[in-house]
Amino acid sequence: MSAEPKVHIIDDDAAVRDSLAFLLDTAGLDVATYPSAPAFLAALAAPARGCVVTDVRMPDMTGIDLLKRLRAQRLGLPVIVMTGHGDVPLAVEAMREGAADFIEKPFDDELLLAAVQAALEQEEGTFRCQEEQAEIDARIASLTARESQVLAGLVEGKANKQIAFELDISARTVEIYRANVMTKMKVRSLPELVRLALKAEPAPPA
């Protein structure tokens, strides 16, 4: 069961944290607050869902450093960076490091809510793609070695007889393996099978 999406608010100013939490909670969003980036990272559980709203200037670890850490860990959480007046260069750097958006303090409530909703929608799309990829990979992994060989031949556009000749088995046996592959991959047609197979993650080198 996957974790529920949550807005993670990080700011060393308690008043800002409380204000943001109240605003987002009123909008019906699940919120968690943290006084620092290290505190957020320590509390972060995998798989993490939702988005991050963080101040850019903080002791211990800046918002920029947090962005770099999240990107290195490939957590996939969109990050909205809050910047003070005159922090435009930092905001630009944050965008270069992969920030989804930046908001200037004092922030406009509607602008912030719109940015958070956009970040959550972005994360939802990424999460669904990852779920689909994991399902495809699991189906591929369920195939036997021979079924995988038959699938490879089908993806290359080879006819049953050609696959049978190359594998030194009968065409009838290929038909049986092909039917097994279709069942395990949960598809009804060859084009659908090929599309799924092409989406599969490449197997690691032996």
Domains defined for the chain, CATH in brackets? 6-131 (3.40.50.2300), 142-199 (1.10.10.10)
Q: Is the pTM of this model over 0.75?
A: no
Given this model, what pLDDT does residue 85 score? Answer: 67
The DSSP call for residue 61 is: S
Cα separation, 179 vs 168, in Å, equals 18
Burial 23-43 (b: 16+ CB within 10 A, else e): bbeeeebebebbbbbbebbee
| Average pLDDT in the chain | 88
Is the model's pLDDT at 204 over the cut of 70? no
pLDDT score at 202: 62
Specify the amino acid at residue 87.
D
CA distance 135 to 2: 14
Label residue 86 by pLDDT band (50, 70, 90): low
Average pLDDT over residues 117-125: 90
On whether the CB atoms of residues 47 and 21 are closer than 8 A, the answer is no
Confidence at residue 146, expressed as pLDDT on a 0 to 100 scale: 94
pLDDT band at 1 (very low <50, low <70, confident <90, very high): very low
Task: Give 11-62 pLDDT, tens digit per residue.
Answer: 999 999 999 999 999 999 999 999 999 999 998 876 788 999 999 888 889 9
Q: Residue 131 — very low, low, confident or very high, per pLDDT cuts 50/70/90?
A: confident
Mean pLDDT of 78-97: 82
- Over 80: is that where the pLDDT of 108 sits? yes
Is the pLDDT at 205 greater than 70? The verdict is no
> What would the pLDDT profile of 151-191 be if each residue is shown by its tens digit?
999 999 999 999 999 999 999 999 999 999 999 999 999 98
Banded pLDDT at 200 (limits 50, 70, 90): confident
